[in-house]
Amino acid sequence: MYVAVKGGEDAIRNAHDLLARRRRGDPEVPEIGLDQIAEQLALAVDRVMAEGSLYDRELAALAIKQARGDLIEAIFLARAFRTTLPRFGSSDPVDTGAMRIHRRISATFKDLPGGQVLGPTFDYTHRLLDETLATWARGEEGASALVAASGESTQAAPVPPLAAQENHAALPENGADRGADEMPVAAPMPRVTDLLGDEGLVEASPVDDGSTPPDLTRTPLSFPAERPLRLQALARGDEGFLLALGYSSQRGYARTHPFVGEIRFGTVEVSLFAEELGFAVPLGDIALTECQSVNQFKGSATQPPQFTRGYGLVFGQSERKAMSMALVDRTLRFAELGEEKSAPAQDEEFVLSHCDNVQATGFVEHLKLPHYVDFQAELELVRRMRAEQEQAAEPVSEPSQQEAAE
């Protein structure tokens, strides 16, 4: 039971003022702008949008600044903000097949139609700290020994030239050759799963029966949860939690044996059907990461063996999250695919009830708020139990008393 406390107003106000000063840090160091956060800490912004379940780069950057870089706190701020806005409706489902590709790779086919493009990736980097990035907004004076030793300027890190600028042959056919003021249309990019699907070697996506998908922001989670509801919960779920669960399934806690069929990152157009207009209005583009996992197969008397699939789709560029989501989406499908339940990653109630980091942090962190009355009651109880135990330990003269003590 939680009993309210009173008082402490001055202390709280002063603590918040102190927080604001600590947030600003050394006033000699220039204040960070939302554009700097959005541009240079873009993946932190993406994570806040994904788990805050709110696509708005500027807002996510503000949340990160206000939260002093604490991303779960920033996600909390984004979730709180969304409750202040009315909802205009639901978009038409985005078409990731028409994505303007920034990155697309497959671990299953090296020569897939449309090709593999690495895009801006940490893959194949050596994970060595790059001294040339050690620049200082305040100037040379603030430079650390790391930079001082290298003797480099502290003003700006060098930016490598674009390979594309040196090699015009690399320009794609659409875009460069078309009229200068026509926006090039992204060529439809087949999914790896379509290639296998043509031969019936991989299961098809669940059929769109025209029903409205459940929405956990409107109706609380309930179990059993159907796949659309699970996908919504996973899409906004904590990256670390889903990463650990996906990892556990790879290590043998639920045997799914995944391949990454395809990962793509890029932008898609979002459109909203406007009642008053009677047609779908394009709203602009959002960046998404999609992961298709291809998993081991099962056949039955009626169905020849085929690969099964897991699916991940996340706001922004977040491959780790999209892959983890695909792994966990697949483990949660155990019943439908006739597999044995043997691991936490298959337990939808366990996974979905604990993947939301705003709920999780709320419940964990509430423990630090005053619980004085609760604790007093327990303290009383422990004192009484100890007293009773002491009494019981003494040589018993009247057995009736011992009975009463129990």
Q: Does 90 bind other proteins (CB under 8 A)?
A: yes
- Residues with Cβ within 8 Å of 327's Cβ and at least 6 positions away in sequence, in order, are 242, 245, 246, 249, 250, 256, 258, 293, 310, 312, 345
Residue with smaller CB distance to other proteins, 33 or 206: 206
Stretch that binds other proteins, among 28-36, 111-119, 346-354, 369-377 (CB under 8 A): 111-119
Q: Does 360 bind other proteins (CB under 8 A)?
A: no
Shortest Å, Cβ 292 to other proteins:
7
Residue with smaller CB distance to other proteins, 118 or 392: 118
Q: Does 313 bind other proteins (CB under 8 A)?
A: yes
Q: Which of residues 114-143 bind other proteins (CB under 8 A)?
A: 115-119
Q: Which of residues 31-70 bind other proteins (CB under 8 A)?
A: 49-50, 53-56, 58-59
Whole-angstrom Cα distance, residue 65 to residue 34? 8
| Inter-residue contact 215 to 232 (CB < 8 Å) | yes
Whole-angstrom Cα distance, residue 177 to residue 399? 101
Q: Which of residues 226-285 bind other proteins (CB under 8 A)?
A: 227-229, 231-232, 235-236, 269-274, 276-285
Long-range contacts of 223-230 (CB under 8 A, 24+ apart): 223/348, 223/349, 223/352, 224/348, 225/348, 225/352, 227/329, 227/332, 227/333, 230/329, 230/332, 230/348, 230/352
Stretch that binds other proteins, among 1-9, 66-74, 79-87, 240-248 (CB under 8 A): 79-87
Choice from 26, 130, 209, 390 touching other proteins (CB under 8 A):
209
Whole-angstrom Cα distance, residue 117 to residue 124? 13
Residue with smaller CB distance to other proteins, 4 or 277: 277
Residue with smaller CB distance to other proteins, 103 or 320: 103
Structure tokens at 187: 């060529």
Q: Does 100 bind other proteins (CB under 8 A)?
A: yes
| Residues touching other proteins, count (CB under 8 A) | 97
Stretch that binds other proteins, among 35-43, 185-193, 353-361, 394-402 (CB under 8 A): 185-193
Residue with smaller CB distance to other proteins, 147 or 330: 330
For residue 141, give the DSSP letter: G
- Closest C-alpha among 42, 93, 282 to residue 183: 282
Choice from 82, 257, 298, 371 touching other proteins (CB under 8 A):
82
Q: Does 72 bind other proteins (CB under 8 A)?
A: no
Choice from 47, 63, 72, 193 touching other proteins (CB under 8 A):
193
| Inter-residue contact 154 to 147 (CB < 8 Å) | yes
Bridge partners of 267, per DSSP, are: 100, 287
Whole-angstrom Cα distance, residue 248 to residue 335? 18
Q: Are strands 259-274 and 100-105 parallel, antiparallel or unpaired?
A: antiparallel
Triad 354, 261, 246: Cα angle to 5° = 20
Q: Does 91 bind other proteins (CB under 8 A)?
A: yes
Residue with smaller CB distance to other proteins, 128 or 169: 169
Site string for other proteins, 321-340 (x = CB under 8 A): --------------------
Residue with smaller CB distance to other proteins, 131 or 215: 215
Choice from 163, 301, 382, 393 touching other proteins (CB under 8 A):
163
Residue with smaller CB distance to other proteins, 143 or 322: 322
For residue 27, give the DSSP letter: T
Stretch that binds other proteins, among 10-18, 139-147, 207-215, 378-386 (CB under 8 A): 207-215
Stretch that binds other proteins, among 161-169, 368-376, 382-390, 391-399 (CB under 8 A): 161-169
Q: Does 164 bind other proteins (CB under 8 A)?
A: yes
Shortest Å, Cβ 113 to other proteins:
12
Structure tokens at 47: 């994570």
| Inter-residue contact 292 to 279 (CB < 8 Å) | no
- Closest C-alpha among 93, 297, 102, 99 to residue 186: 99
